[in-house]
Chains A and B, each alone.
Chain A
Amino acid sequence: MSTATDTVPASGAYEPGSHPDLAPPPGTTGPIRWMKDNLFSSPLSTVLTLISVYIVYTVVTSAGSWLVLDAVISADSREACQAIDSGACWAVIVSRFNLSIYGFYPDAERWRLNLAFILLFVALGPILFDNFPARKHMMKFSMAYPVIAYFLVVGGMGLEPVSTHLFGGVMLTLVIGLTGITCSLPIGILLALGRYSKLPVMRMVCTMFIEFIRGVPLIALLFVASVMLNYFLPPGVEFDLLFRVLIMVTFFASAYMAEVIRGGLQSMPKGQFEAADAMGLTYWQAMRLIILPQALKVSIPGIVNTFIGLYKDTTLVLIIGLLDVLGIMRSSLADPKWNGLAHEVYLYTAIFFFISCFAMSRYSLYLERKLHTGHKR
């Protein structure tokens, strides 16, 4: 085998079709060529490239020095931070990290939240991934998880009860978000089926519910939960505020979920329903075995979209005085010691939400790929 570059034999030396591939002429490939083609192809392009490089450079260096190089991570107050260095004062996050995670939950009981959080992943594993070890048995645990988590978080069964007004921070965000997400999917499926039902009363009730809830902003529902319900209840009766909020958030998400799933149901060809009927399946069998698996698959992006929307909407509870992760960090800004550190605090909250929402979105892509059965258009 002779290398093509150094000694190229005369063209007649090879059998037709057996000529080895030659390397491309120098200067037509590689990073230099790519830059020439894409970055410096004309004077205008060259100027724009240089300007862009300059902008990126200044942004990266100034953001980098503010975020990292000049940042302070341990200090007692904003003044102390400023005395040390001129960058971001992450000390406010460090000193309030536990508060932002656990809220006002009693110190001695926080292990229960940690345990509930770890068990959450154990419970989610078999639901989310079908190659999970011992999936069948673990599924039983997943089904029992909501009950276990309820007792761990709220107390009872020998655990010290913790009043829900002590909930706050990330923990409150997760409680509201996860309850809303887990409850809204089944309720949403039922509502969508109800709206699609042949029974007029069922159809009317479901349609009215969906249209009413969708026609009202979430803030209005939260106000109803926090304010109006108390007027209807006799004085002295305390119907837990968090519980009222959970109901409203779940209703809200369910109505949206129902419409997303109805979209999936409508995309099913009529033949699928007729085939199910022809096989003599009952309504529930047909739905469970034929219609819903296909309809839900089509709806995955919409469902996850609703989940993410719901998860971020949980910050609205701030308006009715529940201190979720955003609320509790904002109340840190009112501490005279840390007053004026809005950038750090909002950045921290943004990162928290980005990580959780991005994870959800990635999982939905994985799910779509996994369930891809060649019907894609």
Chain B
Amino acid sequence: MIKTISGIAAFAAAAIVSAGVSAGTLDDVKARGELNCIVTTGLTGFAFTDENGRWDGFDASYCRGLAAAVLGSGEKVKFVPTTGKTRFTALNSGEGDALFRNTTITMSRDVDLKLTFLGVNYYDGQGFMVPNSLGVSSAKELDGASVCIQTGTTTELNLADFFRANGISYEPVAIETNEEGQTNYLAGRCDVYTTDASGLAATRATFDDPGAHTVLPEIISKEPLGPAVRQGDDQWADVVRWVLNVVVAAEELGITQANVDKLAKGTDNPSINRVLGTEGNFGELLGLDKDWAVRVIKTMGNYGENFDRNIGPSTAIALQRGLNAQWTDGGLMYSPPVR
């Protein structure tokens, strides 16, 4: 138990100097040589382990992108899997440096839980799925229906709000996990399954006969999902925020994993040059070097590439871009300019 003894020794040593302020997270991460990135224990397409135990997915890619920006390699990440209940404490207690875990940004989480949210990487919303045999085409026709709902989530509260606002009643069937919801719904123990629209699409894609089920058009809540860091470390917050922004900007400017090396040699487009560090010193301003964005894009691709690879139409989940399209295509993905 050498580790224990050294742990206790380190504890004692740290207690003696505990009055000293800890360095910024950016310096901590650089000194450690490893990014501790908080992800979910498993959510289809967003974060999961592949056959070799390597973390992959839409959110996990951001972890690798961030590690590439700060440490130079997308492999220098220690993934900290958390559940809905432990994610915020893992961040606040310092077990993780950044939270990339499909977390809905809400006012109370931002203000009360002392988190800093850095923007949205996926706009989601709560929807309903019904079997076609129910003959329902709108959520407002669901009076008296039994609804499978995950307990202790914002979706539970949204559901109550929606049914109350429309003056109709429902019968909740409490479930714990998405798989449980799927099983109950398919077994007919509830008429309706409700969760975030991305989750509904992922669930429906696994059915033997997806065509027999419809996702109703109503989206009853706003679920902007985004990364968070601890409140009070603005420099680190800036780094994570600009990793988030730069992949969106890259898609807008047409920078891809494939052409980033070529474009990084310099182009006639000053916007691209600023992003890729051939003009200006934006990397240094962040506390990184000038190639930071090149590494991010090389590691995780631009926003669209990451989306398509993990959750896009060509995958089993087959999500459309929808709200998550570039602002130029009618979506909400809009990066402030790098200048």
Chain A nearest CB: distance from B212 CB in Å?
15
Which of B49-57, B122-130, B218-226 faces chain A?
Answer: B49-57
Query: Given A327-B41, A342-B183 in contact, is the A237-B51 Cβ separation under 8 Å?
Result: no
Q: Are B51 and A95 in contact (CB under 8 A)?
A: yes
List the B residue with the shortest CB-CB distance to A328: B49
Q: How far is the CA of A237 from the CA of B22 in the complex (A)?
A: 11
Q: How far is the CA of A79 from the CA of B42 in the complex (A)?
A: 20
The answer to whether the Cβ of B268 comes within 8 Å of any Cβ in the partner chain is no
Contact residues in B for A78 (Cβ distance below 8 Å): 206, 316
The answer to whether the Cβ of A314 comes within 8 Å of any Cβ in the partner chain is no
Which of A34-42, A226-234, A274-282, A352-360 faces chain B?
Answer: A226-234
Query: Given A234-B15, A237-B11, A331-B49 in contact, is the A319-B206 Cβ separation under 8 Å?
Result: no
The answer to whether the Cβ of A20 comes within 8 Å of any Cβ in the partner chain is no
Q: List A residues 225-256 near B (Cβ within 8 Å).
A: 226-227, 230-231, 233-241, 243
Contact residues in A for B48 (Cβ distance below 8 Å): 331-332, 334-336
Q: How far is the CA of A226 from the CA of B86 in the complex (A)?
A: 8
Q: Are A156 and B2 in contact (CB under 8 A)?
A: yes
Q: List A residues 94-132 near B (Cβ within 8 Å).
A: 95-96, 98-99, 103-104
Query: Given A321-B82, A331-B41, A339-B316 in contact, is the A237-B183 Cβ separation under 8 Å?
Result: no
Contact residues in B for A156 (Cβ distance below 8 Å): 2
Q: Are A335 and B50 in contact (CB under 8 A)?
A: yes
The answer to whether the Cβ of B179 comes within 8 Å of any Cβ in the partner chain is yes
Contact of B3 among A77, A240, A320 (CB under 8 A): A240
Chain A nearest CB: distance from B61 CB in Å?
14
List the B residue with the shortest CB-CB distance to A230: B93
Q: How far is the CA of A136 from the CA of B208 in the complex (A)?
A: 60
Q: Are B183 and A321 in contact (CB under 8 A)?
A: no
Q: How far is the CA of A95 from the CA of B56 in the complex (A)?
A: 16
The answer to whether the Cβ of B329 comes within 8 Å of any Cβ in the partner chain is no
Q: How far is the CA of A332 from the CA of B179 in the complex (A)?
A: 12
Chain B: residues with Cβ within 8 Å of the partner, total of 53
The answer to whether the Cβ of B259 comes within 8 Å of any Cβ in the partner chain is no
Q: What is the size category of the interface that chain A forms with chain B?
A: 35 or more
The answer to whether the Cβ of A318 comes within 8 Å of any Cβ in the partner chain is yes
Q: How far is the CA of A235 from the CA of B15 in the complex (A)?
A: 10
The answer to whether the Cβ of A330 comes within 8 Å of any Cβ in the partner chain is yes
Contact of A319 among B28, B52, B86 (CB under 8 A): B86
The answer to whether the Cβ of B239 comes within 8 Å of any Cβ in the partner chain is no
Q: Are A321 and B80 in contact (CB under 8 A)?
A: yes
Show 11 residue pairs from A and B whose CB-CB distance is below 8 angstroms, ordered by the A residue. Answer: A165-B78, A223-B86, A226-B89, A236-B14, A319-B86, A327-B41, A331-B42, A331-B48, A335-B48, A335-B49, A339-B205
Give A contacts to B, CB under 8 Å.
77-79, 82, 95-96, 98-99, 103-104, 150, 154, 156, 163, 165, 168, 223, 226-227, 230-231, 233-241, 243, 318-323, 327-328, 330-337, 339-340, 342
